[in-house]
């Protein structure tokens, strides 16, 4: 039986700011872009959350909910330095680490013999050492699988430690909301609830055939998770699947002509990023458009990443879906792994 930890820093960016400026600890605090520049909240502390402020919320809305909110611009260099300290601490416990972002990671401690092999004791040590060395609190979930460990780390935030033993899995899952399952978003949750499926126990009452019929391939995923089946391993290296650039504009782009003009600087920046990337891009490119009503659309097609006309054509198609002012544009390409690239080359030669 595997022993997986999911370690997640509590409101990480805000936590670093509160550590460095103790006067901010008791006041509502957000890290993100300014309201004047149409920024969004990257993260916020728990006093701010009490007012309904959340990550990814427009800063202007956050300030309406909490006029006393202190908004600080992000300092990613400082956050990365703290993250590196924490990641180094993880390596003292196990080499099997899968970072998910600056502030969270999976650790496979199945073969670790320290602490008499107790994953619970390992989690306590991680929490204590992270706080002592960096001043940042860590919430940790302990479970036999990745998806349960992630749920557990969020169960008792902030500064939480939740353990789901193999013997606990069945009972824990029976009452668990389907909204907590890996990959289940608001739309799938709503569809499940219209079918009378609210908990994993409800989900278990449905056959695999029915779930496949209603949800396609994702039905098998639902069937397995409701029974605690998650065989995903902790991946030491994560393969990058795309390279992209995007920008949110200070003022909405009023029409397609303005969008075309704004696209070229993004295209140039994308070419610079691709030049620094080790893997060759595939022949699939994409454009992302967020309109002033926050609706989002994207278009992708086959074609070389170095052709600006291809991106312009995608932009025109994407813009026609909303035909309204635009607040964000993005461009990018999908990446092909090196072995897949070799296979494509061999196929082309044959």
Question: In this predicted model, what pLDDT tens digit does every residue of 323-340 receive, in sequence order?
Answer: 999 999 999 998 765 444
Beta strands 41-44 and 4-9: pairing type? Answer: unpaired
Question: Which residue segments constitute the domains of the chain, with CATH numbers given?
Answer: 4-11+77-169 (3.30.70.270), 13-76 (3.40.1170.60), 181-220 (1.10.150.20), 242-345 (3.30.1490.100)
Confirm whether 104 is a catalytic residue.
yes
Average pLDDT over residues 33-51: 89
The angle subtended at Cα 32 by Cα 156 and Cα 58, nearest 5°, is 90
331's tokens: 């461009």
Q: What is the pLDDT of residue 125?
A: 97
SS3 25: coil
Q: What is the mean pLDDT of residues 284-310?
A: 88
For residue 287, how far is the Cα from the chain centroid? 20
Q: What are the two backbone dihedrals, phi and then psi, of residue 295, each rounded to the nearest 5 degrees?
A: -70, 150
- CA 297 to chain CA centroid, Å, is 19
pLDDT of amino acid 348: 35
What mean pLDDT do residues 113-126 have?
95
pLDDT reading at 346 higher than 60: no
pLDDT greater than 70 at residue 10: yes
Tell me which residue of 295, 286, 303 sits closest to 327, measured CA to CA.
295
Which tokens is 263 given?
A: 């696209």
293 is annotated as contributing to ligand binding: no
202 is in an annotated binding site: no
Least confident of 91-95, 181-185, 234-238, 318-322: 234-238
Distance CA 210, CA 304 (A): 42
Per-residue confidence (pLDDT) for residue 273, from 0 to 100: 81
Q: What is the pLDDT of residues 229-283, one digit of tens each?
A: 888 999 886 666 788 888 888 789 999 999 999 999 999 888 888 877 655 556 6
Q: How high is the pLDDT of residue 40?
A: 87
CA dihedral 14, 19, 21, 24 (to 10 degrees): 50
- What global pTM score does this model have? 0.72
pLDDT at 155: 93
Query: Quick one: CA dihedral 123, 124, 127, 128, positive or negative?
Result: negative
Q: Is the pLDDT of residue 148 over 50?
A: yes
Catalytic residue of the set 104, 113, 233, 349: 104
pLDDT at position 349: 33
Q: What is the pLDDT of residue 213?
A: 93
Report pLDDT for 339: 42
> What would the two tokens of residue 320 be?
């026609």
Output the pLDDT for position 152: 96
The CA dihedral of 97, 102, 104, 109, to the nearest 10 degrees, is 20
Indicate if the pLDDT at residue 350 is higher than 60: no
- Alpha carbon distance 178, 66 (integer Å): 31
Of 1-5, 231-235, 240-244, 317-321, give the lowest mean pLDDT range.
240-244
Is the pLDDT at 146 greater than 90, yes or no?
yes
Instruction: Identify the H or E element spanning 80.
Output: helix 76-91
pLDDT value of residue 343? 36
**Average pLDDT over all residues of the chain:** 89
Q: What is the mean pLDDT of residues 299-310?
A: 85
Rounded mean pLDDT, 74-88: 92
Per the structure block, which two tokens stand in for 260? 């075309």
CA angle 310, 312, 317 (to 5 degrees): 100
High-pLDDT (> 90) share of the chain, %: 69
Closest CA to 330 of 305, 306, 307, 299: 299
Is the bond preceding residue 158 a cis peptide, omega within 30 degrees? yes
Predicted pLDDT at 185: 86
Within a 10 A sphere around the Cβ of 32, how many other Cβ atoms?
24
């Amino acid at each position: 039986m595997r022993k997986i930890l999911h370690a997640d820093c509590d409101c990480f960016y805000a936590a670093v700011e509160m550590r460095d400026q103790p006067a901010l600890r008791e006041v509502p605090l957000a890290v993100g872009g300014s309201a004047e520049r149409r920024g969004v909240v990257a993260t916020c502390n728990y006093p701010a959350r009490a007012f309904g402020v959340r990550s990814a919320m427009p800063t202007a809305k956050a300030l309406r909910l909490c006029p006393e909110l202190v908004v600080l611009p992000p300092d990613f260099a400082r956050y990365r330095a703290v993250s590196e300290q924490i990641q180094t601490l993880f390596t003292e416990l196990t080499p099997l680490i899968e970072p998910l972002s600056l502030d969270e990671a999976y650790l496979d401690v199945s073969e670790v013999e320290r602490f008499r092999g107790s994953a619970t004791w390992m989690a306590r040590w991680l929490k204590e050492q992270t706080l002592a060395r960096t001043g940042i609190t860590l919430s940790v979930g302990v479970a036999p699988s990745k998806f349960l460990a992630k749920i557990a780390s969020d169960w008792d935030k902030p500064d939480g430690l939740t353990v789901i033993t193999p013997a606990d899995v069945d009972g824990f899952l029976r009452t668990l909301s389907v909204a907590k399952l890996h990959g289940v978003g608001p739309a799938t949750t709503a569809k499940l609830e219209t079918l009378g499926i609210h908990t994993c126990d409800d989900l278990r009452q449905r056959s695999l055939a029915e779930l496949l019929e209603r949800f396609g391939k994702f039905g098998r995923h639902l069937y397995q998770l409701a029974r605690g089946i998650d065989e995903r391993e902790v991946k030491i290296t994560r393969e990058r699947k795309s390279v992209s650039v995007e920008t949110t504009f200070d003022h909405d782009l009023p029409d397609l002509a303005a969008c075309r003009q704004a696209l070229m600087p993004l295209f140039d920046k994308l070419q610079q990023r691709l030049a620094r990337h080790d893997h060759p891009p595939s022949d699939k490119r994409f454009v992302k458009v967020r309109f002033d009503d926050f609706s989002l659309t994207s278009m992708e097609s086959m074609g070389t990443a170095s052709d600006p006309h291809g991106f312009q054509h995608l932009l025109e198609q994407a813009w026609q879906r909303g035909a309204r002012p635009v607040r964000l544009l993005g461009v990018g390409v999908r990446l092909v792994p090196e072995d897949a690239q070799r296979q494509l080359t061999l196929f082309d030669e044959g």
